Structure 1
Amino acid sequence: MKEMTDAPLLPPAFAEKLIAIVARDRGGRGVSRLSRVESWQKAARAFAPLRSVVIVSGFYVPDANAPETDGPGGAAVLARAFCAEGRRAEIWTDSLCLGVMKAAARALSFPEKFVRAAPGSLKEDAPGGIIFTERPGRAADGRYYNFKKKDISEWSPPLDALAAEAAARGIATLGIGDGGNEAGMGCFYEELKKLFPEYSGCFSVVKTDHALAVDVSNWGAYAFAAALSCAWGNWRGAEKWEELAMLEAETAAGAVDGISRLPRLTVDGFEISVQNDIISSLKGLCASFGVK
């Protein structure tokens, strides 16, 4: 199901405030400067009506021999949001990240049976939409890179190939990323090359129908859950006390912070208090627009 053509479900003021919360370049990477009001409006308009979605996530850190804490939380929150609204949702990842992804889902009481290793291709009962969040996307040379410019192809099964298959089948896709090397960030490829030519060989060329550039991918997923909540009229996002539960579960399962490479209760170097502030701000924003 592709993007709908009726009026936006998100008021421009709502989208502007979302960007102010999760895309103001807190991490100094610069990618979130490409976040646009219309991108949030179009993504919400395309995904809010869908009856079934798959969230694809998981970014492995070879230097630490572990998945990172950015990704699982966002995937779990989005999957639960759709389920809470009476839709069907699954989380797909690779075998290296599966344990941590299941741990995040358990912390949110999202059924583990809906968290699994991604199939090689979409089946006949394919979902209405696919969301990639903090999932490696191949560069122009067909390889996968981290932000240290290290080739991580050996640890990055090509789940981003699902984007091309979805496009061929008319299935809506969305990419959420914070570094430019994630699936979906190919939508910003030319802009990113101009902004950061020294990283041009690392940026993903994998495009999705919609793409959201944010400071931290988890925050982008939380914000998109807030955008959907606004469209649905019910709060379906995270609660601030859930962040600690997820991070404790993920680190216990072996996850590390993607910046420090250490098993800390942080995401991309940001402390739990910052994560909680983001969640509280998103919920407060929705409340100010009448979302209960």
Structure 2
Amino acid sequence: MPDIMGEYVDRLVTVEMRNRGMNYGIVKQIYDAARAEGGGRPISARAAEALVKTVKPGDVVFIVTGAGYAPEVPNGESDGPPGAASLARAIYWGLKAVPVFVTEACHAPPVIASAKAAAVMVREFELAKNRRMGGALITAPEARDRAPDWAKDIIAEYKPAAVISIERLGPNDQGIVHGSTGVPKDCVDLGHVFIEAKKHGILTIGIGDNGNEIGFGRIYNFMRDFHPYGRECQYPGGTGVITVIDTDYFLPASVSNWGAYGIAAMVAFYLKDQDVLQTPEMERKILEACLDAGGWEMRYCTSRFIVDGTAGESSMSIVQLLRDMLRLNLAAPDRGLSHGKMKEQAL
């Protein structure tokens, strides 16, 4: 049954909606490659199953996010923080664990605002860990060369049971972080958190939508040959945008937020609790909170109600469809009044 639900969750969050000026006509092929590499089962079901089996009440789960920088979007974009907030909601209210956002300082305002709108307050870690008062937040050092040691320190100090990336850019084979169309980004490399987590056998999950986000290293060779910027950049000598950072489970989606919603929905399915996933009305509040806090839509760098070129109402509709899938799949078998006796079948 989980794989039946997961099949259609995966289909929903990989419905491609992109302007032809961007990398388009690629989501299905990327998803198919990731699914085949992972053994063939629906990816959202596999990732959620791993979380439910691994994460216990009181455990810490890192959620790494943040993409987009000044001057275009100085506090980042609207794809990432809302998905992180949805996952934090599933982790906090569903798994009874402690979500800890890991991001750069410039991305913190929309992350905090999105989490609050999802009913996960961001508090001091001690309050979150010892008194269950919500989640917490860690910001990366501004000095780029400190990232490897900092990653070691936070893994050792917080001892996360899982580390999840959503719409967080990772370095290519030259150690350079790029936008999806081959433009280099001057930012802290948070891929070190995943490198360190894997050294300790910690569960890692990645969610991305364009090849340059953490997790795509799982299908690196495929992406190098398939992606429009798999082997080149918008400057001489660039070797492509595809990140080398892989994760144990990787879900490519049409919009990264939607991939996070899909995994959160599957966590709700395993827990048999539809309300672990936000409602469409809450989704509107999450997106608006993100936009108002500076997490703008990336295409036109404004606070329009848009995520990756799709109307905010589309994200609300994705959430509605996921919740309806949950409602119908979690309900007791019922044929209503007009279809006669039920035929016994395996459920």
**TM-score when normalising by structure 2:** 0.77
Q: How does 1:151-230 map to 2 (within 5 A)?
A: 151-152=184-185, 154=186, 156-200=187-231, 201-230=240-269
1:137 aligns with 2:128: no
Counterpart-to-counterpart distance in 2, 1:74 and 1:280: 15
Counterpart-to-counterpart distance in 1, 2:28 and 2:163: 21
1:84 aligns with 2:93: yes
Query: Which secondary structure state, in structure 1, belongs to the residue aligned with residue 198 of structure 2?
Result: helix
Aligned match of 2:103 in 69, 72, 93? 93
Query: Which secondary structure state, in structure 2, belongs to the residue aligned with residue 20 of structure 1?
Result: helix
1:48 aligns with 2:52: yes
Q: Is the 8 A contact 1:132 1:184 kept in 2?
A: yes
Map of 2:30 onto structure 1: 34
How far has the Cα of 1:111 moved from its partner? 1.3
Map of 1:112 onto structure 2: 122
How far has the Cα of 1:249 moved from its partner? 1.6
Aligned match of 1:128 in 143, 149, 161? 161
- Alpha carbons of structure 1 residues 245 and 16: separation in structure 2 relative to 1, 3 Å: same
* Two-structure CA RMSD over aligned residues (Å): 1.8
1:68 aligns with 2:77: yes
How far has the Cα of 1:125 moved from its partner? 3.5
How far has the Cα of 1:261 moved from its partner? 1.9
How far has the Cα of 1:197 moved from its partner? 4.8
Map of 1:252 onto structure 2: 292
Q: Is the 8 A contact 2:281 2:316 kept in 1?
A: yes
Give a deviation string over 1:178-219, Cα, whole Å, max 9, x none: 011001111121111221253331111100111001000000
Aligned match of 1:102 in 112, 123, 144? 112
Counterpart-to-counterpart distance in 2, 1:203 and 1:65: 22
Q: Is the 8 A contact 1:230 1:291 kept in 2?
A: no
- Alpha carbons of structure 1 residues 22 and 30: separation in structure 2 relative to 1, 3 Å: same
Q: Is the 8 A contact 1:234 1:291 kept in 2?
A: no
Counterpart-to-counterpart distance in 2, 1:266 and 1:33: 25
Bigger Rg, structure 1 or 2: 2
What is the one-letter code of the residue matched to 1:191? F
Map of 2:344 onto structure 1: none
Aligned match of 1:232 in 267, 271, 279? 271
How far has the Cα of 1:117 moved from its partner? 2.8
**TM-score when normalising by structure 1:** 0.90
Aligned match of 1:11 in 2, 7, 21? 2
Q: Is the 8 A contact 1:58 1:94 kept in 2?
A: yes
Counterpart-to-counterpart distance in 2, 1:222 and 1:291: 20
Identity percentage of aligned residues: 27
Counterpart-to-counterpart distance in 1, 2:295 and 2:157: 33
What is the one-letter code of the residue matched to 2:329? F
**Which one is further off, 238-247 or 134-143?**
238-247
- Alpha carbons of structure 1 residues 198 and 94: separation in structure 2 relative to 1, 3 Å: closer
Query: Which secondary structure state, in structure 2, belongs to the residue aligned with residue 84 of structure 1?
Result: helix
What is the one-letter code of the residue matched to 2:162? G
Give a deviation string over 1:83-142, Cα, whole Å, max 9, x none: 112222221111110111111112122111134234622124411101100001111110
What is the one-letter code of the residue matched to 2:51? F
Counterpart-to-counterpart distance in 2, 1:48 and 1:241: 26
Counterpart-to-counterpart distance in 1, 2:312 and 2:323: 17
**Which one is further off, 201-210 or 101-110?**
101-110
Query: Which secondary structure state, in structure 1, belongs to the residue aligned with residue 242 of structure 2?
Result: coil
Between the two proteins, the alignment pairs up a number of residues equal to: 281
